[in-house]
Chains A and B, each alone.
Chain A
Amino acid sequence: MARIQNIIGKRSNWSFPYAVFLILFVALPMVLIMGYAFVKEGGGFTFSNITRFFTDSDALSTFAVSIEIALETTAICLLLGYPVAWLLANSKFNKSSITIVIFILPMWINALMRTLATADLFNMLGITLGKGTLLFGMVYDYLPFMIYPIYNVLRRMDPSYAEAAQDLGAKPAKVFTSVTLPLSLPGITSGIMMVFMPTVSTFAISEFLTNNKIKLFGTIIQENINSSMWSYGAALSFIMLIIIGLTSLLTSSSEEDNVAEGGLI
Chain B
Amino acid sequence: MSEDIIISLDHVSKWFGEKRVLKDVSLNIKRGEFVTILGPSGCGKTTTLRIIAGFETPDEGNISIGGNLMNDVQPHKRPVNTVFQRYALFPHLNVFDNIAFGLKLKGMSRSEIETRVMRVLKMVSMTDYEWRNVDSLSGGQQQRVAIARAIVNQPAVLLLDEPLSALDHKMRKDMQIELKQMHKQLGITFVYVTHDQEEALTLSDTVVVMNNGVIQQIGSPTDIYNEPVNCFVADFIGESNIFNATMIEDRKVSFMGHEFECVDEGFGENVPVDVVVRPEDIYIMPKTDKGQFDGVVASCIFKGVHYEITVNTPDGYELMIQDYNPFEAGMEVSMIIKPNDIQVMRKERICNTFEGEMTDESHVEILGGEFECLPQEGLSAGDKVRVEVDFDKVDLTDDKRDGTCEGDIRFILYKADHYHLHVRAVNREYIYVDTQDVWEDRDIVGINIRPEDMRITRIEEGAQA
Chain A residues within 8 Å of B, Cβ to Cβ: 158, 160-161, 163-171, 174, 178-179, 182-183, 185
Q: Which B72-86 residues have C-beta < 8 A from chain A?
A: 74-76, 80-82, 84-86
B106's nearest neighbour on chain A, judged by CB, is A169
Q: Is the CB of B88 within 8 A of A158?
A: yes
- Asked if residues A160 and B86 are in contact (CB atoms below 8 Å), the reply is yes
Contact of A163 among B55, B80, B102, B150 (CB under 8 A): B55
Contact (A183, B92) CB under 8 Å given A163-B55, A164-B82, A167-B81: yes
| CB-defined contacts of B80 to chain A, threshold 8 Å | 167
Bound: A185/B75 CA distance, A: 26
Which one of A168, A171, A179 lies within 8 Å of B149 (CB-CB)?
A168
14 A-B pairs within 8 Å (CB atoms) are namely A160-B86, A163-B84, A163-B88, A164-B84, A164-B89, A164-B149, A166-B75, A167-B150, A168-B101, A168-B153, A169-B76, A171-B74, A171-B76, A178-B101
Residues of B within 8 A of A (CB): 53-55, 74-76, 80-82, 84-86, 88-92, 101-102, 105-106, 149-150, 153
CB pair A167–B105 under 8 Å, yes or no, is no
Collect the chain B residues with CB atoms within 8 Å of residue A179's CB: 90
Q: Are B105 and A169 in touch, CB under 8 angstroms?
A: yes
CB pair B105 A164 closer than 8 Å: no
On chain A, the residues within 8 Å of B74 by CB distance are 166, 171
Contact A164 B76 (CB under 8 A): no
B88 touches A160 (CB 8 A): yes
A185 to B91, CA, bound (A): 12
Which A residues are CB-close (under 8 A) to B54? 166
Give the tally of cross-chain contacts (CB within 8 A). 60
Not counting A160-B84, A182-B92, a sample of 11 additional A-B residue pairs whose C-beta atoms are within 8 angstroms of each other reads A161-B90, A163-B55, A163-B82, A164-B82, A164-B89, A167-B53, A167-B80, A167-B82, A168-B102, A168-B150, A174-B105
A161-B90, A163-B75, A183-B92 known; A168-B84 Cβ under 8 A: no
**Alpha-carbon distance between A158 and B153 when the two chains are bound, in angstroms:** 23
**What is the distance, in angstroms, from A104's C-beta to the closest C-beta of chain B?**
28
The smallest beta-carbon distance between A106 and chain B, in angstroms, is 33
Query: Given the complex, which residues of B lie within 8 Å of A160, measured CB to CB?
Result: 84-86, 88
By a CB distance below 8 angstroms, the chain B residues around A158 are 86, 88
Tell me whether B91 and A183 are in contact (CB under 8 A): yes
Closest-by-CB residue of B relative to A162 is: B88
- Give Cα A43 to B128, complex, Å: 65
Residues of A within 8 A of B86 (CB): 158, 160
Going nearest first, the 3 A-B pairs with the smallest beta carbon separation are A168-B102, A160-B88, A164-B88
Alpha-carbon distance A167/B54, docked complex (angstroms)? 8
B306 to chain A, nearest CB (A): 41
B62 to chain A, nearest CB (A): 21
| In contact, A165 and B84 (Cβ under 8 angstroms) | no
A168 to B55, CA, bound (A): 13
Min Cβ gap A49→B in Å is 45
**B146 closest partner in A (C-beta):** A164
Q: A160-B84, A174-B105 are in contact. Are A167 and B90 (CB under 8 A)?
A: no
Chain A positions within 8 Å of B105 at CB level: 168-170, 174
List of B residues within 8 angstroms of A163 by Cβ: 53, 55, 75, 82, 84, 88
Please name all residues of chain B whose beta carbon is closer than 8 Å to the beta carbon of A161 when the two chains form the complex. Answer: 88, 90
Nearest B residue to A182, CB-CB: B92
What's the nearest-Cβ distance from chain B to residue A255, in Å? 11
Cα–Cα, bound, A160→B85 (Å): 9
Report the Cα distance A160→B49, complex, angstroms: 14
Among B74, B75, B91, B149, max chain A CB count under 10 A is at B75
Question: Smallest Cβ distance from B185 to chain A, in angstroms?
Answer: 21
Chain A min CB distance to B221 (Å): 28
Contacts of A164 in B (CB 8 A): 82, 84, 88-90, 149
CA distance A165 to B101 in the complex (A): 8
A92 vs chain B, min Cβ distance (A): 13
Contacting residues, chain B, for A166 (C-beta < 8 A) = 54-55, 74-76
B55 surroundings in chain A (CB, below 8 A)? 163, 166
**Looking across the interface, which residue of chain B has its beta carbon closest to that of A160?**
B88
Contacts of A178 in B (CB 8 A): 101
**Shortest distance between the CB of B398 and any CB in chain A (Å):** 36
A174 to B101, CA, bound (A): 11
> Residue of A at shortest CB range from B81?
A167
Name the distance in Å between B103's Cβ and chain A's nearest Cβ. 9
A187 to chain B, nearest CB (A): 14
CB distance from B399 to the nearest CB of A (A): 35
The distance from the CB of B7 to the nearest CB of chain A, in whole angstroms, is 16
Chain B residues, Cβ within 8 Å of A183? 90-92
B440 to chain A, nearest CB (A): 32
**Min CB–CB distance A58 → chain B (angstroms):** 45
Residue of B nearest to A258 (CB): B91
A258 to chain B, nearest CB (A): 10
Which of A168, A170, A171 sits near B81, CB closer than 8 Å? A168
Cα–Cα distance between A47 and B75 once the two chains are bound (Å): 65
**What separation, in Å, do the CA atoms of A179 and B75 have in the docked complex?**
16
Docked Cα-Cα span, A182 to B55, in Å, equals: 22
Contacts of B92 in A (CB 8 A): 182-183, 185
CA distance A154 to B68 in the complex (A): 35
Chain A residues near B153 (CB-CB < 8 A): 168-169
Q: Please report the C-alpha to C-alpha distance between residue A163 and residue B82 in the assembled complex, in whole angstroms.
A: 9
The CA-CA distance from A185 to B90 in the complex, in Å, is 14
Residues of A with C-beta under 8 A to B106:
169
Point out which of B81, B88, B149 has the most chain A C-beta atoms below 10 A from its C-beta.
B88
* Cα–Cα distance between A182 and B93 once the two chains are bound (Å): 10
Check if B91 sits within 8 Å of A167, measured CB to CB: no
Beta-carbon nearest neighbor of B152 in chain A: A168
- A90 → B minimal CB distance (Å): 15
Give chain A residues whose Cβ lies under 8 Å from the Cβ of B81: 167-168
**Residue numbers in A under 8 Å from B75 (CB-CB):** 163, 166-167
Return chain B residues, CB-CB under 8 Å to A182.
92
Complex Cα–Cα for A160 and B163 (A): 14
Alpha-carbon distance between A168 and B102 when the two chains are bound, in angstroms? 5
Contacts of A170 in B (CB 8 A): 76, 101, 105
Q: How far is the CA of A222 from the CA of B84 in the complex (A)?
A: 57
| Chain A contacts for B90, CB-based, 8 A | 161, 164-165, 179, 183
Shortest CB distance B427–A (Å): 26
CB distance from B282 to the nearest CB of A (A): 45
